[in-house]
Amino acid sequence: MYRKERLGAADDGATSFTSSLDSDEWIFDADLLVDRAHLVMLAEQGLVGREGAAEIADALDAVGEEGFSSLAGEDVHEAIEARVVELVGEEGGRLHTARSRNDEVATCIRLAARGDVLRLMNELIAARGRLLDTASESVDTLIPAYTHLQRAQPTTLAHHLSAHERRLARDSGRLFDVMERLNRSPLGGCAAASTTLPIDRERTSELLGFEGPVENSMDAVSARDFATELLFVCSSVMEALSRLAEEVVLWSSSEFGVMELDDGFATTSSVMPQKKNPDVAELVRARAATVQGHLQAALSIVSGIPLSYNRDLQELTPHLSDSLRVAARSARVLSRAVESAEFREPGMELEVGATDLAEALVERGVPFREAHARVGRLSRTGFGTEDAVDALGDRLTRGEVGEALDFHRSVELRVNGGPGSAEELLDLGRRDLKSHGDALREIEGGIDRAYSRLEEVLAEL
């Protein structure tokens, strides 16, 4: 449609090479919203007559009903406009007044990303809730805490799962931060340097539920740091989930014996009938790599281009949509796999209590370095209670040795963020979950109100 007068017919290969239609479905609904808000503003500013505007609004509804699959064109923007002109006639050509595909696509991506960010926020909150629920049932389940993947100190499953919840809580926080910069409207930036026509950028911003316009029109059309920042947060979410996934893989092995996945979350082998495999966790681990690759690709794409809009930017969009989708799905499926699994205590050899034993010596006045050395010597060959009593009897009674190596007692004593504070950590998690949930409802409410208002003004055209 655009090229007819200036360039004539395009080469088929070049058209399919440059087209973004295959990946534009993600912004189809957003584009219709952007069109509607822009149309309302044009009508209010007297740039399109009321009657024409109402006809265009009806045509946009029809395009929505016909659906994305019936569109044809270089990209979703051209395809929608072409269909509107087809339905309305020449007057339909007024829709693209005072805008370009450059500000249009930037606005569409922000809207679609905003919807997906809200979805991801909800999934993260739900996933954290599942981790907290599972943790609440396992405050007394003893497992070893590992460092260097060697058994380090006794802890509880509740304490361990709370660590994952705390980690994901920070990604929820990061998403709220990103939202402040993401939720701004590029619309009205036009191709790059704005328009001579009397538009109202505040109005379109408000109708689309944005916090306000991106001030500089050139920045509005060219910036994708909202996307790269968001891709970092998706990568961060995937990093956190991947570490949990790695533990699910280890824990569900007979070597670790900490967890038995629910059959519904496991897969089997085509040849080995006994197999029960943790493929869900393995795929979360692999997709973390993919999402982190998307971040790198997006940064490299934007880094190479001068201001303002360049077609390179089109190539960035699928990296963002894919990452948002993968992060939300991963959070959901992995947390459900953990929630539905059965956990058991793997049992721990007494040496896992070596630090507790050294600390018992400290309580009896022994300098820590000496206590460390004495228990270190004892640990060379592994030890039982009798060996410990024999070696440390000058300082500790049999009862004190027994107490130090009583893992249930030792986890209770280790407060200060340790397993003895698990209940407080879980409460903290629940409080954060509530405040994040409340803040999320508020953002969603604001957007819903803006969209209802948009519907009202459209109906009045």
Looking at the annotation, which residues are catalytic? 148, 269
30 versus 248: smaller Cβ distance to ligand ARG = 30
How far, in Å, CA of 36 to CA of 207, rounded? 9
How far, in Å, CA of 279 to CA of 298, rounded? 28
Report, in Å, the least distance between residue 84 CB and ligand ARG: 17
List residues bridging with 62 in a β-sheet.
Answer: none
Report, in Å, the least distance between residue 221 CB and ligand ARG: 9
Question: How many alpha carbons lie under 13 Å from residue 336 in its C-beta half-sphere?
Answer: 12
Return the percent helix, strand and coil in the chain, to nearest 5.
Answer: 70, 5, 25
* Beta-strand pair 142-147/150-156: antiparallel
* DSSP-derived secondary structure for 335-355: HHHHHHSEE------GGGGHH
184 versus 224: smaller Cβ distance to ligand ARG = 224
Report, in Å, the least distance between residue 140 CB and ligand ARG: 55
Report, in Å, the least distance between residue 76 CB and ligand ARG: 7
Report, in Å, the least distance between residue 163 CB and ligand ARG: 40
Q: Is 428 exposed, middle or buried, given 0-12, 13-18 or 19+ CB atoms closer than 10 A?
A: middle
- Residue corresponding to tokens 């990296």: 319
20 versus 340: smaller Cβ distance to ligand ARG = 20
Report, in Å, the least distance between residue 208 CB and ligand ARG: 18
446: DSSP letter: H
How far, in Å, CA of 434 to CA of 128, rounded? 11
Among the listed residues 413, 349, 134, the one whose alpha carbon sits nearest the alpha carbon of residue 247: 134
Alpha-carbon Rg for the chain, nearest whole angstrom, is 29
Report, in Å, the least distance between residue 224 CB and ligand ARG: 10
- Binding footprint of ligand ARG on the chain (CB under 6 A): 20, 75, 77, 101-102, 105, 309, 311, 313-314, 317
Report, in Å, the least distance between residue 202 CB and ligand ARG: 24
Contact 333, 341 (CB under 8 A): no
Among the listed residues 360, 233, 228, 390, the one whose alpha carbon sits nearest the alpha carbon of residue 295: 228
How far, in Å, CA of 344 to CA of 208, rounded? 51
185 versus 314: smaller Cβ distance to ligand ARG = 314
21 versus 54: smaller Cβ distance to ligand ARG = 21
Report, in Å, the least distance between residue 54 CB and ligand ARG: 27
List residues bridging with 143 in a β-sheet.
Answer: 155
6 versus 369: smaller Cβ distance to ligand ARG = 6
261 versus 313: smaller Cβ distance to ligand ARG = 313
55 versus 81: smaller Cβ distance to ligand ARG = 81
Side chain identity at 168, as an amino acid letter? L
Q: Which whole-number Å values give the CA distances from 86 to 24, 58, 333, in the listed order?
A: 21, 13, 44
Q: CB neighbours of 195 closer than 8 A, spacing ≥ 6?
A: 98, 99, 188
* DSSP-derived secondary structure for 39-100: HHHHHHTTSS-HHHHHHHHHHHHHHHHH-GGG--SSSHHHHHHHHHHHHH-GGGGGTTTT--
75 versus 171: smaller Cβ distance to ligand ARG = 75
How far, in Å, CA of 321 to CA of 112, rounded? 8
Q: CB neighbours of 146 closer than 8 A, spacing ≥ 6?
A: 152
